Amino acid sequence: MAQTQPTTLHLGQTLAFTASPLAEGPGAAHHESAGALLVEGGVIRQAGTAEALRTAHPGAEVVDHGEALIVPGFVDAHAHYPQTPMIASWGKRLIDWLNHYTFPTEARFADRAYADEIAGRYLDLLLAHGTTSVCSYCTIHPESVEALFSAAEARGMRVFAGKTCMDRDTAPEFLRDSAQSAYDDSKALLERWHSRGRAEYVITPRFSPTSTPEQLQALGALWAEHPEVLMQTHLSEQTDEIAWVKSLYPQARDYLDTYEAYGLLGERGLYGHAIHLEPREHARLKEVNAALVHCPTSNTFIGSGLFDMDGLTKAGMRVGLATDTGGGSSFSMLRTMAAAYEVAQLRHRPLHPAELLWLATQGSAIALMAEDRIGNLAPGLEADFTVLDLASTPAIAQRVAQAEDIWEALFPTIMMGDDRAVRATYVAGKRAL
């Protein structure tokens, strides 16, 4: 018989959100210097001051994190877990990079044992870096999806994922499915895994250059049959990619139209990168309330361009933040926040630490339409949280010693922190690291 989790009181500094700091400013983040979370049954039951909650719950098991900062578990809104072994590969632009590194690596995932090995390694790396949820592409192989969801189930993680679909001769023959098998495999995996525990299936055309119109149409039909699930793909990452799309779809009004024409544009759509948007694309994405996902380490590593965070969020777009492993050069959402800050600086509008943390937590949860379950420290949400050491290295500690508020104390960890800053990671109330 499964053991019941005890009622646990976690003490430490806490940071939570009442609204988006991108819209409301840093005041939308609430800091408690002596805070507490009451956790029971994998759920946050109460959040408040340590004094109040200790008095109200004298029988709770106390976990005292001292001066460490408790934040929502990081939510990575766009990744490719099969690319774990090839992260930080040298010197290619997107299309060459896919052909030289990505596709040969992904071919190995027909082997379930290999897929299990990489899925477990990947999720353990995420937990080590404080990430508790991820939205990932798999490969064309159903085995790769089974491996990731099985590994996530074993760890209790909320994971969003789907079989990547590619049937066009722009992808290598050894990594192609078909319009029919994409539909059939995706449907079978969706019916097996969606809403099983904390698993959420995501319909996943890689991007329109590697799918035929027939495949996009088939996946659009599947999404129409299951509008409750998310759909993820790529959009306007690089200028040469956009030119490629236009050559393959000469009848399309723009890149976005290659999805829209086949039923792959909607509120539950996640469009990775979205750097070089045309006015019509911008207007349609806003009109349907689609989500965009900013992948800053990938965009700089592969030389894609500078995401317009300020312009898109001021226009009311939902935006998540992501590592884009392995096009991104780090598994860390701290490093991803630092890169987002650097990209925003080049756009002449620096992001406040509250905005960066929000993007990596509640902002990504909102993009995934999961803010009622993850992404914040609030009663009723799943107890996924990360405990940060704000003085994890001598360089960070000497800067924090001069900090006058929580934001000056947190920012050095955002800019210079890594897995050494993650003191503990909790998933559904259980310590995972």
Q: What is the CATH number of the domain that holds 52?
A: 2.30.40.10
pTM of the full predicted structure? 0.97
Whether residue 61 is found in the same domain as residue 93: no
Tokens in use for 196?
A: 């099983």
Residues 199 and 56 in one domain: no
Instruction: Tally Cβ neighbours within 10 Å of residue 7.
Output: 15
Confidence class for position 91, pLDDT limits 50, 70, 90:
confident
Tell me the DSSP string of 271-329: EEE--S--HHHHHHHHHHT-EEEE-HHHHHHTT-----HHHHHHTT-EEEE---TTTSS
How many structural domains compose the chain?
2
Residue 1 has pLDDT above 50, yes or no: no
Q: Do residues 388 and 419 share a domain?
A: yes
The token pair at 237 is 């990452």
Q: Which residues partner with 35 through β-bridges? A: 12, 49
- CATH number for 345: 3.20.20.140
| φ/ψ of residue 256, rounded to 5 | -55, -35
By the 8 A CB rule, do 126 and 76 touch? yes
3-state secondary structure of 401: coil
Are 65 and 185 contained in the same domain? no
One domain, residues 37 and 126: no
Do residues 407 and 421 share a domain?
A: yes
**Amino acid of residue 156:** G
Are 35 and 99 contained in the same domain? Answer: no
Question: How do residues 300-327 score in pLDDT, each as one tens digit?
Answer: 998 999 999 999 999 999 999 999 998 8
Is 35 among the domain residues? yes
Residue 3 has pLDDT above 80, yes or no: no
- Shared domain for 412 and 266, answered yes or no, is no
CA dist 321 and 356 (Å) reads 9
The answer to whether residues 418 and 314 belong to one domain is no
Where among 328, 346, 368 does a domain terminate? Answer: 368
Do residues 69 and 44 share a domain? yes
| pLDDT (tens digit per residue) in 348-388 | 999 999 999 999 999 999 999 999 999 999 999 999 999 99
Cα(8)–Cα(130) distance, rounded to whole angstroms? 20
What lies within 8 Å, CB to CB, of 124 at 6+ separation is none
Residue 2 lies in a domain: no
Same domain, 277 and 411: no
Q: Are 412 and 22 in contact (CB under 8 A)?
A: no
Distance CA 124, CA 92 (A): 28
Owning domain of residue 336: 74-368
- Sorted by sequence, the CB contacts under 8 Å of residue 401 that are 6+ apart come out as none
Query: Which of 368, 387, 409 is a domain's end point?
Result: 368
pLDDT tens string 156-203: 999 999 999 999 999 999 999 999 999 999 999 999 999 999 999 999
Element (H, E) at 224: helix 213-225
Q: Are 156 and 132 in contact (CB under 8 A)?
A: no
If asked whether residues 318 and 423 sit together in one domain, one would say no
Residue where one domain finishes, among candidates 316, 337, 368: 368
